[in-house]
Amino acid sequence: SHAQERLLRAVARDGIKNVAVVDDPRQAIYVWREARVENIAGFPGDGRSRIEAPLSKNWRSVEPILKVANKSIHGYHFGDPAEFDADRILEPARSFAPSGHPAVTLQVFDTREAEAEAVAEWIGQLNTAGRPYRDMVILIRARTYLDVYLDALDRDGIPYAVSAGDAFYTRPEILDVVHLLRLCVDSMDTLALVVTLRSPVVGLSQAEVVRLTQADDEADLFWQVIYDPVA
């Protein structure tokens, strides 16, 4: 961004030669914060020289995956075409033993639920074929639909661990435990009490809880009924 460019120019003042800048003109995600490829293309400017080291070797992906990536981003850039080599591609830095299976499979589903079911079924098939669950991972763009995939895994009896995200703490059974603990800490926490009464721990219906709260005009009668049944 312009602010970062000004900061770097201040750091890379005359006589300073140990400033390194790394960029990727295909990373569209940075556009939202006003990053511009031109800021790097002209750095440091002012007639000063620089050393460029293109990073085209990829050390973590097999060749079929890189082919898909290169094909997908071919010709795309977010700056001046004259300052960017649109034909630059990523190359595998090492070879991998062929697995006999496609590295990339593209499937389209009508609903997210159908996709989640297919993913769970695929994981089950891989496990049956000898692949341990710990070797598999599902990458999800956002946490919004995380529960859809977790429910599909639960239905198929597939164990999982959620890394990152807060979906675990928003699941109903976890919230029930949290409110029960809150009630243990503060017995006058009305919200925690109502949630606990409605949870499977007690099992009261919403109508039953409402009747308790409206049993009398006295504000504390509700608590008397709960904590002193003979009152």
Report how far residue 30's alpha carbon sits from residue 151's, in angstroms, rounded to the nearest whole number.
33
Identify whether 156 is part of a domain: yes
Q: How many domains does the chain have?
A: 3
Query: Of 8-12, 27-31, 199-203, where does mean pLDDT reach its minimum?
Result: 27-31
Report how far residue 37's alpha carbon sits from residue 59's, in angstroms, rounded to the nearest whole number.
24
Which residue range forms the structural domain that includes residue 207?
171-227
Q: How many secondary structure helices (H) and strands (E) does the chain include?
A: 9, 2
Q: CA nearest 25: which of 95, 96, 75?
A: 75
Residue 50 sits in the same domain as residue 85:
yes
pLDDT score of 159: 95
pLDDT single digits (tens) 91-135 = 888 776 666 666 678 889 999 999 999 999 999 999 999 999 999
Q: What is the pTM of this model?
A: 0.43
Q: In the structure, what pLDDT confidence band is assigned to residue 231 with cuts at 50, 70 and 90?
A: very low
Identify whether 30 is part of a domain: yes
Between residues 197 and 60, the one the model is more confident about: 197
Report how far residue 19's alpha carbon sits from residue 7's, in angstroms, rounded to the nearest whole number.
12
Q: What is the DSSP string of 74-106?
A: TT--SS-GGGS-TT---EESS-----SS-S---
pLDDT score of 230: 47
Identify whether 100 is part of a domain: no
